Amino acid sequence: MSDLLDLNAVEVRNALDEKAISAVELATAYLGAAEATSNLNNYVELTADHALAMAAVSDKRIAEGTAGLLEGLPIGVKDLFCTKEVSSTACSKILKGFKPPYESTVTSNLWAAGGVMLGKLNCDEFAMGSANETSAYGPAINPWRGKDDVDLVPGGSSGGSASAVAARSALMATGTDTGGSIRQPAAFCGVVGLKPTYGRCSRWGIVAFASSLDQAGPFTRTVADNALMMTAMASHDAKDSTSTQIPLQDLTRAIGDGVKGMKIGVPREYVMDGMDGEVVKLWEQGQVWLRDAGAELVDVSLPHTKYALPAYYIIAPAEASSNLARYDGVRFGMRVDADTLDGMYEATRADGFGEEVQRRIMIGTYVLSAGYYDAYYLKAQKVRRLIKDDFDTVFQSVDALLTPATPTAAFPVGRKIDDPVTNYLNDVFTVPANLAGLPGISVPGGLTSDGLPLGLQVVGRPFDEAAISRVAAVLEDAAGF
Which of 157, 235, 243, 321 is an active site residue?
157
Distances (CA, A) of 142 to 168, 190, 404, 409: 12, 10, 20, 11
**Positions of E strands within 165-301:** 172-176, 192-195, 216-220, 263-267, 296-300
Which of 181, 235, 321, 442 is an active site residue?
181
* Cα 6 from Cα 94, distance rounded (Å): 38
DSSP state of 285: H
The residue type of 479 is: A
- According to the 3-state scheme, what is the secondary structure of 86-139? ECCCCCCHHHCCCCCCCCCHHHHHHHHCCCEEEEEECCCHHHCCCCCCCCCCCC
302: left (phi over 0), alpha (psi -120 to 50) or beta: beta
Query: Could you tell me if 286 and 409 are in contact, meaning their C-beta atoms sit under 8 angstroms apart?
Result: no
Distances (CA, A) of 449 to 143, 478, 481: 17, 19, 15
Among this protein's residues, is 181 annotated catalytic? yes
Among this protein's residues, is 211 annotated catalytic? no
Q: How many CB atoms lie within 10 A of CB 397?
A: 10
Which of 58, 78, 108, 416 is an active site residue?
78
* Cα 233 from Cα 225, distance rounded (Å): 12
Among this protein's residues, is 78 annotated catalytic? yes
Q: How far apart are the first and last CA of the chain?
A: 23
Which residues carry out catalysis?
Answer: 78, 157, 181
